[in-house]
Structure 1
Amino acid sequence: MPPEPISFAAAFAPALLDPTRDAPQIVTGPNGKAAGKRYDVYRNNVTVSLIDALAAIYPAVQRITGTDFFRAMARFHVRGSPPTSPLLFEYGRGFPDFIARYEHAQTMPWLADVARIERAWLDAYHARDATPLAPAQLAAVAPERLADLVLTPHPAAQIVCAEFSAVTIFAANRDSAPVSRIDASTPEDALITRPGFDVIVRHLPPGGAVFATSLAEGRPLGEAAASALDASPDFDIAANIAGLIEAGAFTSIAFGDA
């Protein structure tokens, strides 16, 4: 059987993000003339649109690096990572890992962690709405049953663990206020939630990320607390539970023996 004809889209798209490739032969201008220059204009517009999308998703990263550095870095990422969704806010999920590998960003080893927080911020913004767990629901649980309690995570809740002070750097660079010098050497973990309309990014205390992650994975409260205490002997269970409920990190409760 003869091979199936190649669709216009399949022939048109592969060279869009590769400026070293010639315009597809299927692309023609008036009277069937070659349209390489027209294709190059369209190709540039596609690249610029994807770079603009990354700039909108990662504003703190762009502010830290400066616009020229950011757009040059983003261009390299765009050329190697075509979109897989028609929704632009879905684009750039691999950008933080790209930043971690990018040669010219190695002097900013915390930059990829800031990008991971920004990606989580956007995902939380677009997550499904849900009513957060009310403090009274937790308070109504008998003390002897607390260890068996299992909490359902809010769809918007995410945790980012960073080797550097990414939460502080993120917070300082999400608006136009002046930024003072930041010691980036202290690891910081972030809890990203959206209990209402606004996304909230909180700096978790030592052991907090282990605790919240364990709960989000469906482990009972007693097991999650034990893991957090192993990670940080000074972990305050009551304060951390209160903080997670206040942040809207969970929506409902059940019991592990149910």
Structure 2
Amino acid sequence: MSDQDTFSLALLDPQLPCPPGLCSANGADPASRFAVYRNNVQGSLINALADSYPVVHALVGDEFFRAMAAAHVRQCPPTSPILKDYGRDFDVFIRGFAPAASVPYLADVARLERLRIDAYHAADAASLSPERIGQHLANPDALGSLRVGLHPSIAVLESPFAMLSIWLAHHGEGELEQIDPDQGEVVLVLRSQWQVELFRIDSGSRAFIQRLLEGLTLEAAMLHAHDISPAFDPARTLGLLIRHGAIVQLQAAS
């Protein structure tokens, strides 16, 4: 193991000793100085997770959250110098963190919070006007080869839990005590007019949007959505996307 690897491991694990070979210019104890530095580094990463996942933080309380975040820091060190990117897979960690098993919806709430961050920082793209979109959709024969490009901020998430209602309750919309956490929900995340917005949608709409994101033609995405949910209403879902400027490209498949 290299000296850098030894230093990095000790920096994130308080159980490990101070790396050998360190010295202090003023003669102070290197182990003591390293301990201070380690606490600062770990504290900054834990605070970054708390800032990125405020509802997860609120759901479990500060003591539990900081202990869970510290375990995540030890297991999943940063891979990017950009602090906002840290904890991208925090939901995956939570899913495997045994002490959090008593809050089964916690991982999905974390995933929703991460998608909001991603949407906020996603690249911008000019939306097509409703008139131009209408011209393309007016020709039914072209739907089989039409590909729909969606805004880079868009994501969909389906959960067996009431993740959106729980998130909204922590932002003043609804009472947490009145929510059935086992009531599954599907969410569309997008940035519209520089604001990240969340919309409750159905499983058919989720399947439709996901297939568009994967590059399927409009017709193929509609057929898949109907297979998932026979009640799927493409006009309603397309209307939602158009109203919020989510369609940025329309082109015939090659």
Query: Does the alignment reach a TM-score above 0.5?
Result: yes
Match of 1:182 in 2: 179
> 2: distance between equivalents of 1:31 and 1:65?
43
Structure 1 or 2: more helix by fraction: 2
Residue type of the partner of 1:246? R
Match of 1:3 in 2: none
Alignment size in residue pairs: 252
> 1: distance between equivalents of 2:51 and 2:158?
23
Considering only aligned residues, what root-mean-square deviation do their CA atoms show, in Å? 2.1
Structure 2 unmatched ranges of 5 or more: none
1:233 CA drift (Å): 0.9
| Candidates 101, 110, 129, aligned match of 2:124 | 129
**1:248 and 2:226 equivalent?**
no
Residue type of the partner of 1:104? P
Residue type of the partner of 2:156? I
The answer to whether the 8 A contact 1:149-1:220 is kept is: yes
Moved more, 47-56 or 203-212: 203-212
> 1: distance between equivalents of 2:149 and 2:232?
22
Report the CA distance shift for 1:52/1:174 in structure 2 as closer, same or farther (over 3 A): farther
**TM-score of the superposition, structure 2-length normalised?**
0.92
Superimposed CA distance per residue, residues 211-241 of structure 1 (whole angstroms, 9 cap, x where no aligned partner) = 0001111111111111111111111111111
Structure 1 unmatched ranges of 5 or more: 1-5
Residue type of the partner of 2:36? V
**1:116 and 2:106 equivalent?**
no
Residue type of the partner of 1:146? L
Report the CA distance shift for 1:236/1:71 in structure 2 as closer, same or farther (over 3 A): same
Residue type of the partner of 1:191? L
The answer to whether the 8 A contact 2:168-2:174 is kept is: no
> 1: distance between equivalents of 2:221 and 2:179?
32
The answer to whether the 8 A contact 2:122-2:153 is kept is: yes
Report the CA distance shift for 1:27/1:181 in structure 2 as closer, same or farther (over 3 A): farther
Match of 1:90 in 2: 85
Moved more, 40-49 or 26-35: 26-35
Residue type of the partner of 2:53? Y
Report the CA distance shift for 1:196/1:100 in structure 2 as closer, same or farther (over 3 A): same
1:193 CA drift (Å): 0.8
Match of 1:205 in 2: 202
The answer to whether the 8 A contact 2:109-2:167 is kept is: yes
1:108 CA drift (Å): 1.1
Report the CA distance shift for 1:229/1:50 in structure 2 as closer, same or farther (over 3 A): same
Report the CA distance shift for 1:46/1:31 in structure 2 as closer, same or farther (over 3 A): closer
Match of 2:150 in 1: 153
1:86 CA drift (Å): 0.8
Other structure's SS at 1:15 match: helix
- Give the % identical residues: 39
Other structure's SS at 1:140 match: helix
Report the CA distance shift for 1:177/1:210 in structure 2 as closer, same or farther (over 3 A): closer
Superimposed CA distance per residue, residues 185-217 of structure 1 (whole angstroms, 9 cap, x where no aligned partner) = 122121111132111111112311100001111
Match of 2:30 in 1: 35
| Candidates 51, 62, 66, aligned match of 1:67 | 62
